[in-house]
Structure 1
């Protein structure tokens, strides 16, 4: 689960173009992997908006072609087109929502997968210079898995009458079973870290009725077109919770190899909802000659499976040898998720050092590349895969500092993201991998041209120095790291102080750091 947090240091009025979101859209998406569409987000609700050049047109401001009243009342062609794009999805519950008005110091939290986009201002453009609108954007992710707070499972929630959403005024009573079955799973997982029991009432039906229902859901899983995305996802979660794990795994395991990306996506989510019992299906998928099936398998191992020798070797093999940058990057992220779950459940905890070793070794193999938008001379939304990289790795930025370059590496960044997670639990868990991890992180901080990699490495090293269980004694290597951490961090011309303080750095000692002049 990944959350985006937007922090607004100044007040934001409704006419200042607040961030536009589509609540409840994070459960569904469009096909984007096979098409190499780089952002399965708000732009893809109406991609011709990009192709026609409409995105580059000024909606408001001195050079706007629109009448001021139309701008103020959100009646411009741009406004109408975006509203229609949301409605035309055919998805339940979704409607545009602007987070405003906001007091200075407000934060907005939403799932990273929620469709969202920038917006245009509707106030007097002549006041913009004296009344700027800006925000700080944070990406939040789990370093620990949820664990049950007690022996009793959480009570079953009655999802059939949730009422009105008090924030968005969306009527949640319109949510059908294809939606509430998804809510049920995620609510239970967030409370326990486990898959929920079969749906209420499903256990009383006969085997014949269950088989008939499974066949119906399997057909629904193959429903066509974008507007059927909620139906496909709902069918997958219903199969996962119908009380016959073997039948669910067999049917969705078959769908995992379907030619259609939308069917494979739903099957992957459903198999993850089954939980550890789907592990063998995922392991087999990681050896498929079809790239997209391998990707689904290695991704799902990170979301659902226990860390054991077979799972570990399957993921490490993909990280070491897969010809796809995309799959290697997914494998790097999966190692962090597997290790996080092992630490939370104590199942496979002894293999966490092996996860770290594999991640550290990948840093010596993987290279940064000039970001695709620069290399191809086009918008990041239109870059295409190359012989060197089959996935969009994002825009590059150097912040105007000679030390950095506009380069990216999906594998290196995901590997370091996973290292941050595994370095958040003390050094006892890390064991024999501690020294090599510290050496690798220091090297990234000192030499890497990718500012994102440097940020992750700082975060991980800081956590090693400052985060550990209360009953864990600091090792000599950690004591030395604490002593030299200021000098190490100063080897970079910039530091992410917020993340470092959140990772255990003493905020009261920031004045001790001698930062280089820029």
Structure 2
């Protein structure tokens, strides 16, 4: 294993936060890429797309992700103990096989209970051959990772020689572009997850302030700064100095601009009010009204501004989470991240008293607070018994993100994992689930078991090994392949004698031969 790391720079991290992608280059022998291409082509032509099995089918692909460039980039964004998700795919774009313009714009199906602005997840689009625009590379829409609706922005087609990589925020809008060349285009999509909240910068940080764009029509400087502070491990970070080019204006002027007919003017005014912090508290009511603005940039900036202006803003966000429309409540849950630990008491109250939507969003926001939400652990454990499956799932994920009070948390997660697997054979096992936010996650058959196993992967090493192994053993028996995958990885992380024994037993029936195909005889 190569232990060298080419960590990202401050500018690269700032660019990733703003644009949602970086183009990197793996410098590997051409023959390695050619060999992988030959194996992939054979598999596709003779066996079909291996899907999640692409890595064991073509083991040399693993060498692509064991380089200083790849490991350094993933460490920079996700921390040193990131995990390669078991879902991966070989994308195959044949010449002229699409409607004009290429594929459909989309965000990939996500793996958490909710999408996250903070980079808990990333993808890598890896090109095994020299890639040019006419070959139909995956188009990305810079900055669109924070947009629920497809925004109207210009697009980018990452190109380069074999080994070109697009490191992508998981929620970036993207699509396959039209292949007008005479060549087949291959792209490997691999996904990665962060296991712990940041406590220190994990990139090549020089203690400088980020160079974020000034006055971009679709700018989110408070959101960007919040992400930057979080990645530095600064839970209650304040906005940086505005800089000479970033004219803030007076609170009264900004308050008036919130009523402008032009959405760009409203969005900029909201962003600046968030930047000046408590000095903008007098605009809390108007900002709260803008969270549900039809212009998504306005709504997001208003929500994040409320998270920065103090108690009045936090109170407004909590009210929207409890009683606002689904859209406004979700934006409020993102914005309240910027309030940090000050929002925890109100979130605990919402977790116990709000309607289903508000309870689930409160659990999500508590998880995003990480260790700062330690006082909420008892309430989150209580929420594991909520009548709503979606609330239970958000609570289970939050407990793994918080990572505190393991003596209370881990027994509850083990119990949830066991019970969810036992219930898989029961008809209607997902009672109480109103399909909030998860209607397109049919690929996760056991959402509660999957999430409990993910949280045990994150914090299982902090608990009683025998208890954790007993729960993960049950997870290996799940009908859901991703619950099994996380249980397997969590056992690998434990590495106790009992965990290794369970893994060996599992290997004997789960091991996969990459050389077996329809034409093989032995």
1:280 alignment counterpart: 345
The question of 1:230 aligning with 2:297 is answered yes
| Aligned partners of 2:416 and 2:452 also within 8 Å | yes
| Aligned partners of 2:388 and 2:434 also within 8 Å | yes
Residues 25 and 255 (structure 1 numbering): CA distance in 2 closer, same or farther, change over 3 Å?
same
| Unmatched segments (≥5 aa) in structure 1 | 31-44, 46-85, 88-93, 162-172, 343-350, 376-384, 397-406, 466-477, 498-516
1:443 alignment counterpart: 474
1:169 alignment counterpart: none
1:3 alignment counterpart: 122
For residues 367-389 of structure 1, give each alpha carbon's deviation from its aligned partner in whole angstroms, at most 9, with x where no partner exists: 5769xxxx9xxxxxxxxx98766
Quick one: distance in 1 between partners of 2:251 and 2:141?
41
The Cα shift of 1:199 comes to: 6.0
Quick one: distance in 1 between partners of 2:373 and 2:307?
23
1:355 alignment counterpart: 409
2:311 alignment counterpart: 246
Quick one: distance in 2 between partners of 1:434 and 1:188?
34
For residues 199-236 of structure 1, give each alpha carbon's deviation from its aligned partner in whole angstroms, at most 9, with x where no partner exists: 65899989999888334354244337775211121122
The question of 1:303 aligning with 2:368 is answered yes
Residues 309 and 3 (structure 1 numbering): CA distance in 2 closer, same or farther, change over 3 Å?
closer
Determine helix, strand or coil for the equivalent of 1:136.
strand
| Aligned partners of 1:199 and 1:241 also within 8 Å | no
Determine helix, strand or coil for the equivalent of 1:121.
coil
| Aligned partners of 1:276 and 1:305 also within 8 Å | no
The Cα shift of 1:392 comes to: 2.5
1:26 alignment counterpart: 145
Determine helix, strand or coil for the equivalent of 2:148.
coil
Q: Which residue, 507, 510, 513 being the options, matches 1:489? A: 507
Q: Which residue, 255, 279, 286 being the options, matches 1:219? A: 286
| Aligned partners of 1:416 and 1:453 also within 8 Å | yes
| Aligned partners of 1:299 and 1:330 also within 8 Å | yes
The question of 1:174 aligning with 2:216 is answered yes
Residues 263 and 393 (structure 1 numbering): CA distance in 2 closer, same or farther, change over 3 Å?
closer
Quick one: distance in 2 between partners of 1:204 and 1:20?
38
For residues 218-274 of structure 1, give each alpha carbon's deviation from its aligned partner in whole angstroms, at most 9, with x where no partner exists: 4244337775211121122223333xx222222222222343223222222222111
Q: Which residue, 157, 160, 179 being the options, matches 1:102? A: 160
1:134 alignment counterpart: 186
Q: Which residue, 338, 348, 354 being the options, matches 2:402? A: 338
Residues 205 and 266 (structure 1 numbering): CA distance in 2 closer, same or farther, change over 3 Å?
same
Residues 143 and 437 (structure 1 numbering): CA distance in 2 closer, same or farther, change over 3 Å?
same
2:22 alignment counterpart: none
| Aligned partners of 1:5 and 1:109 also within 8 Å | yes
1:74 alignment counterpart: none
Q: Which residue, 484, 491, 501 being the options, matches 1:454? A: 484
Matches within 5 A, 1:11-22: 11-22=130-141
The question of 1:184 aligning with 2:202 is answered no
Matches within 5 A, 1:37-52: 45=150
The Cα shift of 1:115 comes to: 1.3
The Cα shift of 1:296 comes to: 0.9
| Aligned partners of 1:195 and 1:275 also within 8 Å | yes
Quick one: distance in 2 between partners of 1:236 and 1:226?
10
2:455 alignment counterpart: 418
Residues 123 and 157 (structure 1 numbering): CA distance in 2 closer, same or farther, change over 3 Å?
closer
1:364 alignment counterpart: 418
Q: Which moved more, 1:226-235 or 1:108-117?
A: 226-235
1:392 alignment counterpart: 439
Determine helix, strand or coil for the equivalent of 2:441.
coil
The Cα shift of 1:289 comes to: 4.5
Quick one: distance in 2 between partners of 1:309 and 1:148?
19
For residues 338-395 of structure 1, give each alpha carbon's deviation from its aligned partner in whole angstroms, at most 9, with x where no partner exists: 11xx4xxxxxxxx12322221111112225769xxxx9xxxxxxxxx98766232634
2:387 alignment counterpart: 323
| Aligned partners of 2:126 and 2:164 also within 8 Å | yes
Residues 4 and 193 (structure 1 numbering): CA distance in 2 closer, same or farther, change over 3 Å?
farther
Residues 388 and 333 (structure 1 numbering): CA distance in 2 closer, same or farther, change over 3 Å?
closer
When the two chains are superposed, the root-mean-square deviation of aligned CA atoms in Å is 3.8
- So what's the TM-score if we normalise by structure 2? 0.61
| Aligned partners of 1:419 and 1:460 also within 8 Å | yes
The Cα shift of 1:440 comes to: 2.2
